C-alpha cells in the first residue's frame, strides 16, 4: 500500500482547526446538510471495516450521521463525538448515540474502540492532539481513518463557478477552490499524516483513494452549496447573490453537470501499547 510522500513545508498555511467559528457553523440547517451532502463510496467503507480488528467504531465530527449510518449498515456499532449540539441533536433523533464535545477535550472514560473515523472533519481537529486522543481511544491494532470527498467539476463548469466567486466573493477560498481540485487537499492530508507520526503510537500512515462520480441538477447543487465551509457564514443577501450566480452558471451549461469525486483517506494502525 502506498504511503504519503513528504510534502513541502506548510507552516505558513492557514490552520483550519483554529477557525472554531467556522467549524461550529454547520449546524444551522442540519436537515439540509444531511439531505444534500454527498455520501462516501461503499468501497471505502468496506475497506475500513475489513482492515479494522472489530466493529466498535468512534466517529469524530459525526455531524448528522452520514458516514455513521454507512458504517452501521456495514455491521458496525458507532458512537459519535460532535462539537455542534444542533448536529448532535439531529443525529440523536435518528437513533445515533452522540456525545457533545470538541474531540481534543473528549474523554474516552475507559472505553476502547476498533476504529476511529472522521469524515470531512479532521481539518477542524488539531492534528497532533487529535491523533493522540485517537491513540488513547483505540485498542492495539485499531485503525484511525480520516477522509474527505474532493470534487472536481468539468472544466467549463469550473470556469463558470470561478467567475461567479471572483465577482461576489473576491479573494475567498471559494473563489479559488476549483482551480486546485484534489491537490488542494494535499496539505490537509500531509498535516493529518504528520500529526499521526508525531504522536508515535501508530504505524506509518497510508493514503487510500477512491474515484467515483455523481450527477447534479441545478437544484441539487444549489441545495448543498449553503452547507459548505465557504458559505455557512455568508449574510442572507450575500448567499442569495452567490446562489443566483451559480444557478445561472449551471443553466448556461445545460442545467446540470457530473462531478468527479475522489475520496481521500489518511489511515494508520495503532501499535501495541
In DSSP notation, 37-74 reads: S----HHHHHHHHHTSSSSEEEEET-TTSHHHHHHHHT
Residue 142 has pLDDT above 90, yes or no: yes
Residue 4 has pLDDT above 50, yes or no: no
Residue 3 has pLDDT above 80, yes or no: no
Residue 102 has pLDDT above 70, yes or no: yes
Residue 175 — pLDDT band, cuts 50, 70, 90?
low
pLDDT digits over 178-225, tens only? Answer: 665 546 688 999 999 999 999 999 999 999 999 999 999 999 999 999
By percentage, how much of the chain surpasses pLDDT 90? 74
Closest by CA position to 110, among listed 75, 136, 87: 136
Residue 87 has pLDDT above 80, yes or no: yes
Decide which of 24 and 186 is more confident: 186
Residue 158 has pLDDT above 60, yes or no: yes
Q: Mean pLDDT for the chain?
A: 88
Mean local confidence (pLDDT), 143-147:
98
Query: What's the pLDDT score for residue 16?
Result: 52
- Residue 265 pairs in a beta bridge with 147, 208
Query: What's the pLDDT score for residue 92?
Result: 98
Query: What's the pLDDT score for residue 169?
Result: 81
Mean local confidence (pLDDT), 132-141:
98
- Alpha carbon 203 to chain centroid, angstroms: 23
Query: What's the pLDDT score for residue 160?
Result: 92
Closest by CA position to 204, among listed 152, 269, 258, 140: 269
Amino acid at each position: 500500500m502506498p504511503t504519503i510522500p513528504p510534502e513541502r513545508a506548510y507552516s505558513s498555511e492557514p490552520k483550519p482547526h483554529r477557525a472554531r467559528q467556522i467549524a461550529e457553523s454547520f449546524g444551522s440547517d442540519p436537515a439540509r446538510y444531511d439531505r444534500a451532502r454527498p455520501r462516501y463510496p461503499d468501497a471505502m467503507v468496506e475497506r475500513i471495516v475489513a482492515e479494522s480488528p472489530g466493529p466498535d467504531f468512534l466517529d469524530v465530527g459525526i455531524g448528522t450521521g452520514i458516514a455513521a449510518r454507512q458504517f452501521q449498515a456495514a455491521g458496525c456499532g458507532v458512537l459519535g463525538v460532535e462539537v455542534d449540539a444542533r448536529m448532535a441533536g439531529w443525529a440523536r433523533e435518528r437513533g445515533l448515540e452522540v456525545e457533545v464535545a470538541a474531540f481534543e477535550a473528549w474523554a474516552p472514560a475507559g472505553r476502547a474502540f476498533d476504529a476511529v473515523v472522521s469524515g470531512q472533519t479532521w481539518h477542524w481537529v488539531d492534528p497532533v492532539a487529535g491523533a493522540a486522543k485517537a491513540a488513547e481511544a483505540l485498542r492495539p491494532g485499531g485503525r484511525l481513518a480520516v477522509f474527505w470527498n474532493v470534487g472536481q467539476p468539468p472544466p467549463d463548469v469550473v470556469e463558470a463557478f470561478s467567475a461567479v466567486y471572483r465577482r461576489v466573493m473576491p479573494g475567498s477560498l471559494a473563489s479559488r477552490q476549483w482551480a486546485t481540485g484534489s491537490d488542494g487537499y494535499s496539505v490537509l492530508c500531509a498535516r493529518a499524516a504528520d500529526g499521526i507520526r508525531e504522536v508515535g503510537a501508530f504505524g506509518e500512515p497510508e493514503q487510500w483513494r477512491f474515484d467515483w462520480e455523481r450527477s447534479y441538477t441545478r437544484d441539487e447543487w444549489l441545495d448543498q452549496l449553503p452547507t459548505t465551509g465557504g458559505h455557512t457564514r455568508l449574510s442572507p443577501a450575500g448567499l442569495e447573490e452567490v446562489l443566483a450566480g451559480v444557478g445561472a452558471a449551471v443553466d448556461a451549461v445545460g442545467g446540470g453537470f457530473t462531478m468527479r469525486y475522489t475520496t481521500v483517506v489518511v489511515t494508520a494502525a495503532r501499535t501495541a501499547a
